[in-house]
Amino acid sequence: MSKETTIVSQQLSTKEGAFTAEFEWPVTLAIDKGLDGAVTNKSKVGYVDGDKGRLIYQGYPVETLAENANYEEVAYLLIFGKLPNEAEYAEFDSKLKAQRKMPIEVVKIMDIIYDHKHSHPMSLLRTAVSVLGVLQKNVMDTSRENELRMGMHLIASMPTVIAALHRLRLGLKPVEPDITLSHVENFLYMLHGKKPAALDVKLLEISMILHADHGMNASTLTAMATSASLSDLYSSIVGAIGSLKGPLHGGANEVVLQEFLKIKSIAHVTEYVAGKVAKKEKIMGFGHRIYKTYDPRAAVMKKYASKLKEEVEMFKIAEVLDKEVVAKYGSKGIYPNVDFYSGIIYKHLGFETNFFTTIFAAARISGWLARILEYRAENRIFRPRDVYIGEFNKEFVERKKRV
Ligand code: SDX
């Protein structure tokens, strides 16, 4: 592992005494790059079992939820800790439906700033969420009731923003949400302007359920660190979207598909892997800080991606690449992660490649919200520390005399 652990006491003892003379350092501190192994809080929201490859939401295996529940039920489960009964579901669902519409100001701003060549959809989504926060009232009220209200507004309206961006990119008019449709049906309806096929609804449903929460990942930590200063929910989600965008995190799904297109056919997979190994480059869609075995979400995605006749050539490339990378790196705990097979499904659903991570964000919003609300109850500002390795007591030299 490339984890760098530096024991500060050892580092200090190699210096010339200046550190210990100036400050009383806690000499047992260790540097764990990327906060590896750090534990931020206790949570009931979800559990990632990295050794056994299990993912649990509020007690339920994610595979069971993906097969049997819809996204609204899973969002409710993450937030409230139980699956909703009929009455609870009806109330939650109608509140979400009532907030699907995107304010006209957001559409106008997106239309003005959208540079079709250069604007990344994740940057636009981040900006749209920020604008939604500007238009909201009482954002600084951090009561559970108010944060839940605003969070449900984001769960409901992020698909509307994404679908509108997709259509603006194609030069089409955004489609108004349809409140007779479920969350996922409506997402696809707003994307293509027609009622979606049952298989497509199932594909997006399982994908959004599998992406809804995942422990203390980078974007969740970003959301929580922002929120813990008692900042507003929209600011926290803007930060989380920014974190998710990176190719080491949610942005990997986009790069994975680009790599499949470069590989072109199964005949080139071996050569591709050898090239990556020779250049010591990471292979996108593989590896995970917590999973040292197959990511359970990748297994479900693979099962569904394998059924898509139109994507069979791309699936074959993925499957061979999966086998070759696991043969090479499996002993190091490198296996496919959630971002490896998801792109094949998103492509099938008609999303452009650079929109893939926006779907991840639209799903993860319920996990971000659930964890922010849970942490609020025992809120404490995040404040880790670093180790100063610079100098002390440098002499100040006037600018004109500086070299
Ligand atoms: C997500 O945290 C979450 O829960 C995230 C997520 C979620 O749902 O929120 O699951 C979503 O972000 C999935 C990950 C998507 N990213 C990628 O697919 C990018 C490629 N993978 C990596 O760069 C990497 O595996 C990370 C970023 C996912 C994890 O990074 P770590 O834990 O910091 O691991 P590391 O980079 O320190 O690597 C450890 C070792 C190294 O080898 P050594 O130097 O010890 O010999 O594993 C090797 C790495 O070289 N390694 C890889 C590899 N990933 C790690 N080798 C080849 N290909 C890879 N993809």
- The label of the residue with tokens 């990511």 reads 295
Q: Whose CA is nearest to atom 12 of ligand 1?
A: 249
For 174, residues 6+ apart whose C-beta sits below 8 A from its C-beta are 102, 107, 160, 163, 164, 167, 168, 190
Mean pLDDT of 123-152: 97
Q: What is the percent of the chain with per-residue pLDDT over 90, rounded to a whole number?
A: 87
Fold classification of 252-348 is Cytochrome p450-Terp; domain 2 (1.10.230)
Residue 28 has pLDDT above 70, yes or no: no
Residue 13 has pLDDT above 50, yes or no: no
Residue 257 to residue 268: CA distance in whole angstroms: 15
The residue ranking higher by pLDDT, 44 or 117, is 44
Q: Residue 392: its pLDDT value, please?
A: 87
Q: Residue 25: its pLDDT value, please?
A: 55
Give per-residue pLDDT as tens, 322-350. Answer: 999 999 999 999 999 999 999 999 999 99
Q: Residue 383: its pLDDT value, please?
A: 94
Pull the structure tokens for residue 121: 């959809």
Residue of 89, 102, 162, 169 lying closest to 131 (CA atoms)? 102
Q: Residue 386: its pLDDT value, please?
A: 86
Fold classification of 79-247+357-376 is Citrate Synthase; domain 1 (1.10.580)
Residue of 299, 393, 391 lying closest to 337 (CA atoms)? 299
Domains 79-247+357-376 and 252-348 share a fold: no
Q: Residue 11: its pLDDT value, please?
A: 47
CB 203 within 8 A of CB 349: yes
Q: Whose CA is nearest to atom 18 of ligand 1?
A: 285
Strand partners for 46:
57
Angstrom CA distances, 145 to 149, 152, 282, 310, stand at 6, 11, 43, 46
**Domain ranges within the chain, ordered by starting residue:** 3-62, 79-247+357-376, 252-348
Mean pLDDT of 119-133: 97
Give per-residue pLDDT as tens, 58-106. Answer: 999 999 999 999 999 999 999 999 999 999 999 999 999 999 999 989 9
Q: Residue 30: its pLDDT value, please?
A: 74
Q: Residue 116: its pLDDT value, please?
A: 82
Q: What is the CA radius of gyration of the chain?
A: 23
Pull the structure tokens for residue 247: 């190719």
Q: Residue 372: its pLDDT value, please?
A: 98
Q: Residue 1: its pLDDT value, please?
A: 40
Angstrom CA distances, 126 to 18, 154, 346, 362, 363, stand at 46, 12, 20, 11, 14
- Ligand 1, CB cutoff 6 Å, lining residues: 1-2, 34, 214-215, 217, 248-250, 252, 282-289, 329, 332, 334, 337-339
Q: Buried b vs exposed e over 21-60: b needs ≥16 C-beta within 10 Å?
A: eeeeeeeeeebeeeeeeeebeeeebbebebeebebbbbeb
- Collapsed DSSP state (helix, strand, coil) of residue 123: helix
User: Ligand 1, closest atom to CA 211?
Assistant: 8
Position 21 confidence tier, pLDDT thresholds 50, 70, 90? very low
Kindly list the catalytic residues: 249, 288, 339
Pocket-testing residue among 45, 213, 256, 282, ligand 1, by greatest number of atoms within 8 A of Cβ: 282
Strand partners for 301:
none
pTM given for the model: 0.94
Pull the structure tokens for residue 158: 């992020």
CB 291 within 8 A of CB 48: yes
